């Protein structure tokens, strides 16, 4: 693991603080921005190394893009780098979401911030498409990997669960690698089922300890990015505990989407609604805490995975599926975002500037957001 020099820590602080303030568009967009900066511009890791981090983090519960940020920080500057990357990526989003929660409680509705998304999301579509193109050359480098990726893309469009696709793709490649290695032995391979517990119930009161237990459980069991979080929040906070109403939950999710950074910052909004500032701090810390430990494990072991032919084959399959999932997300976002000539032109111009002139993606996002605010006034 790389040592934490002051220069590298300062570089991580600047990069992830800026990312936390400008990274709209959800996990796929965040990963695309990190790939653009850490691989293309700064050369911190190779494209293959970055893809392995993405694939491994996609297998973990919790916010996948946040964990990629942490694992990237760990790879770059050890444990201190992991902590700085995670905190700097999470804190701006949580702080902005807390501000929206305060306005929501004070005025009864969210500020009109949809203009930000109207202008910023078309830019993010271009950034995601560019990342898929670059990472796809590595992840789908053989015909078998391309075939697996295409099958996963079709399954994702049909509604298959992301975790199931990742595990299935990895298992297929690992089994084929094992079959090649053990061709002269008995051809019998046993698969062990995986099970995941849902955690214990908590008392139906919005005390700080109850808030910590609920959001800590969510940080451990939620697979499939921040958008899957909505179903878990509905079950726990609305249906079972009755801490918030359906309308309040939807407003909290909206707040998490219109702010940059991880969508899991929705927890900050909900914590504030249930227990004020201390509830916001408790919910935020609890939902992100498991990710620090899991991302540390990925950062420490990622370089060793390739040493095993079976683990490497499994990760190849996972990477192919991860690219397919990013493509499916990009297609869904494109359908929802590119709704008129202005959004189409914004996306196409952004793609041209990225590819031809290699413009810093941050400036494109800021420009798109500003344009969106002006158009929606």
pLDDT in tens, 51-90: 888 888 877 877 888 999 999 999 888 889 999 999 999 9
Note the pLDDT of residue 9: 93
- Whether residue 296 has pLDDT greater than 70: yes
pLDDT at 212: 93
- Please state the separation of Cα 11 from the chain's center in Å: 21
Quickly tell me which residue has 């969508």 as its tokens.
263
Q: Once rounded to an integer, what is the mean pLDDT over residues 33-41?
A: 87
Lowest mean pLDDT among 35-39, 62-66, 246-250, 261-265: 246-250
pLDDT at 183: 56
Best CA proximity match to 25, nearest among 255, 263, 224: 263
CA distance 374 to 162: 37
Task: Report the pLDDT value the prediction gives residue 181, as an integer from 0 to 100.
Answer: 73
Say whether pLDDT at 192 is over 60: no
CA 177 to mean position of chain CA atoms: 29
Mean pLDDT for 300-322 is 77
Q: pLDDT: is 299 or 212 the higher one? A: 212
In this prediction, residue 17 carries a pLDDT of: 92
pLDDT the model gives residue 182:
66
CA 295 from centroid of its chain's CA atoms = 12
Least confident of 39-53, 63-77, 302-316: 302-316
- The Cα 101–Cα 108 span in angstroms is 10
């Amino acid at each position: 693991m790389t040592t934490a020099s002051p220069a590298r820590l300062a570089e991580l602080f600047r990069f992830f603080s800026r990312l936390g303030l400008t990274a709209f568009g959800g996990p796929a967009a965040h990963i695309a921005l990190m790939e653009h900066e850490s691989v293309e511009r700064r050369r911190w890791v190779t494209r293959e190394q970055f893809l392995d981090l993405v694939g491994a983090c996609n297998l973990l519960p919790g916010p996948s893009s946040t964990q990629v940020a942490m694992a990237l920080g760990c790879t770059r500057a050890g444990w201190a780098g992991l902590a700085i990357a995670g905190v700097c990526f999470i804190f701006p989003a949580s702080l902005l979401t807390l501000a929206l929660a305060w306005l929501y409680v004070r005025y009864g509705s969210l500020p009109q911030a949809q203009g930000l998304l109207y202008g910023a999301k078309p830019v993010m579509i271009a950034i995601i498409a560019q990342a898929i193109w670059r990472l796809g050359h590595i992840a789908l480098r053989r015909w078998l990997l391309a075939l697996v990726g295409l099958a996963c893309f079709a399954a994702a469009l049909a509604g298959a669960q992301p975790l199931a696709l990742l595990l299935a793709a990895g298992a297929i490649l690992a089994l084929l690698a094992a079959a090649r290695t053990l061709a002269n032995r008995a051809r019998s391979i046993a698969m062990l089922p995986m099970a995941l517990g849902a955690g214990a119930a908590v008392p139906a009161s919005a005390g700080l300890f109850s808030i910590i237990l609920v959001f800590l459980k969510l940080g451990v069991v939620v697979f499939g990015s921040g958008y899957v979080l909505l179903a878990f929040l509905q079950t726990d906070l609305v249906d079972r505990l009755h801490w918030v109403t359906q309308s309040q939950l939807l407003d909290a999710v909206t707040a998490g989407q219109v702010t940059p950074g991880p969508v899991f910052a929705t927890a900050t909004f909900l914590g504030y609604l249930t227990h004020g500032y201390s509830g916001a701090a408790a919910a935020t810390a609890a939902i992100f805490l498991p990710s620090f430990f899991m991302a540390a494990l990925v950062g420490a072991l990622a370089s060793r995975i390739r040493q095993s032919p079976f683990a490497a084959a499994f990760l190849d399959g996972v990477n192919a599926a991860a690219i397919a999932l990013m493509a499916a997300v990009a297609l869904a976002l494109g359908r929802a975002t590119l709704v008129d000539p202005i959004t189409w032109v914004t996306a196409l111009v952004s793609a041209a500037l990225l590819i031809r002139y290699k413009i810093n993606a941050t400036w494109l996002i800021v420009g798109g957001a500003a344009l969106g605010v002006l158009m929606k006034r």
